[in-house]
Amino acid sequence: EAQVTQNPRYLITVTGKKLTVTCSQNMNHEYMSWYRQDPGLGLRQIYYSMNVEVTDKGDVPEGYKVSRKEKRNFPLILESPSPNQTSLYFCASSSRGYTEAFFGQGTRLTVV
């Protein structure tokens, strides 16, 4: 079954404690991206990757890092989380960036 898997689904953490949200896809897609969803703002792209070792900033990259060492994995790293990063995060993958995107189930992050 084609899937994008994110972990964890829910996370509560404290300000400044580094965390990683993992994302894995089994469709051999080249393009992966991270979005955050906030009320009234829709989804905004944080970072994207067009292939292994190729990443670039999206619309709201401040405070986030990513890496793409393998084609299937695209972790999102918050080196020093702050309360304004409390949000619902989605990972997505697609064969090309402008075609149908498959989304993970989401990770609800709360930073206190």
- Residues in contact with another protein by the rule CB under 8 A: 4, 31, 33, 35, 40-45, 48, 50, 56, 58-59, 90, 92, 96-106
Nearest-approach distance from CB 39 to another protein, in angstroms: 9
Q: Could you give the CA distance from residue 4 to residue 107 in angstroms, rounded to a whole number?
A: 12
Residue 95: partners with Cβ closer than 8 Å, 6 or more residues away: 27, 29, 30, 31
Which is nearest to 36 in space by CA: 92, 98, 101?
92
Q: Are 60 and 46 in contact (CB under 8 A)?
A: yes
Nearest-approach distance from CB 19 to another protein, in angstroms: 20
Q: Which is nearer to another protein, 22 or 45 (CB)?
A: 45
Q: Could you give the CA distance from residue 16 to residue 52 in angstroms, rounded to a whole number?
A: 29
Q: Which is nearer to another protein, 13 or 102 (CB)?
A: 102
Which is nearest to 30 in space by CA: 68, 87, 1?
68
Nearest-approach distance from CB 112 to another protein, in angstroms: 22
Q: Which is nearer to another protein, 53 or 79 (CB)?
A: 53
Nearest-approach distance from CB 35 to another protein, in angstroms: 8
